[in-house]
Structure formats: C-alpha cells, structure tokens
Structure 1
Amino acid sequence: MDKSVQQFKAEFFKALAHPMRIRILEVLSQQDRNVNELQSILGSEGSAVSQQLAVLRSKNLVNTVKEGTTVVYSLRDPLIRDLLAVARQIFDNHLVESITLLEDIRNQN
C-alpha cells in the first residue's frame, strides 16, 4: 500500500482519538450545528468544544459556513457517518462476545 495513504489513515485516526471529537462528529452526522448548539448538546464548556473543533477542522473532517455572526459546522464527508456506525457495530460485537463469555463463566460455577 502507498505510504501516503497509510500516513493519511494514521492522521485521520489520530483526529478521531478523543471521545469529545467522536461525539462532535456523531452529533454533526445527525444535523449541522453551531458552537452554542454543540456546547449545549455535549454539556461542555465552550473552550473545550472549540478546541476539539479546531482539531477536526485542521484534519479536514468538518466544514464551516458563516451565517451572519454564527459559524455552522458540518461533516466534510458523509462517509464519516458510516465509519462511526461501523465502529458502533464493532463495539456491539465485542460487547456481545464479552457478555457471552461472562455467561459461560457464570454457568460453569
């Protein structure tokens, strides 16, 4: 595989390596939002949300559009929504496996 593609993937996944950034992307996968809306939904203060949005912007994961004095954020690529859904499915699969293992252990005792 081309090293530039591997580098892109590494940088892409680094951008996803923070729970708040993932949550921001999940929220934006539902609807475009401004900073105030994101702060309210996330229950976090503005500086933390703004800092994570800056990372997402620098990695080209979100777009911004200025509407008057408000900046509205959106997903740059709709496939991010699919990636998050696949990650959720992987999590669910691991959870099911863990539950099954615990049930097996419980039944052996």
Structure 2
Amino acid sequence: MNQFHNMQQFKSDFFKALAHPMRIRILELLSEGNKNVNELQQILSSEGSAVSQQLAVLRNKNVVYGIKEGTTVVYSLRDPLIKDLLAVAKQIFDNHLVDAITMLEDIRKT
C-alpha cells in the first residue's frame, strides 16, 4: 500500500509541475533541444525572472535539470519520455477538439 501511495504522490507532484502554460511551453521547447534561460526568454518573449521562476518549479519536481556551462545554465528534460507525454496530451486535445467540432456541426444541421 505504501508503494502505491508513493507512486500516486509522485504522479500528483509530476502533474502539478506541468500545471502551468509557461511550464508546458518550456517543456515543449526543451523537447526540441537543450536551451539556456536567455534562449527560452527570447522564444517566449518573457522576462528572465518569470522564465527562471518556472524553471525552478520544474527543477524542484525533477522534470528538468540544468548543467552550468561557463556563466550560463543549460536546461534539459530529465526524461526524454516527457516529449512523448506532451505529444499524447496534444493528441487528446485534438481528439476533444474534433469531437467538439463534430458536435457543433451536428447541431447546425438540425
């Protein structure tokens, strides 16, 4: 039972780490390759403190890790399967979108 509880707690903490639009976008960007804060900041058109704050949450939940290269820290996904998880989440979203569009089309026909 304790192992079950630990697994549920891990899953809960993991999904809490994902529960922010900027964190999701950061993970999508890191899925394409390692990046430092400045690169993420430029792509996201966001200030460094906001990006750093979200990276800290992802780091604390062991979703990403940073390696110091000179004066900058380069961030990577802790597990490459996160890329697959994001792809599955997108598929689920697309399926819901298709269902919603189909339902709207059915309503229009009546």
- TM-score bracket relative to the smaller structure: over 0.9
Q: Secondary structure at the match of 2:19?
A: coil
TM superposition score normalised by structure 2? 0.96
CA distance in 1, matches of 2:59, 2:35: 14
Q: Give the partner amino acid of 1:107.
A: K
The residue aligned with 1:100 is 102
CA distance in 1, matches of 2:29, 2:41: 11
Instruction: Report how many residues are paired.
Output: 108
Q: Secondary structure at the match of 1:73?
A: strand
CA distance in 2, matches of 1:70, 1:4: 35
**Partner of residue 63 from structure 2, selected from 61, 64, 69:** 61
The residue aligned with 2:89 is 87
Q: Secondary structure at the match of 2:57?
A: helix
Q: Give the partner amino acid of 1:53.
A: L
Q: Give the partner amino acid of 2:19.
A: A
The residue aligned with 1:72 is 74
CA distance in 1, matches of 2:42, 2:98: 32
Cα displacement (A) at 1:63: 1.2
The residue aligned with 2:17 is 15
Calculate the aligned-residue CA RMSD, in Å.
0.8
1:50 aligns with 2:52: yes
> Which runs of 5 or more residues in structure 2 are unaligned?
none
Identity across matched positions, percent:
77
CA distance in 2, matches of 1:7, 1:62: 18
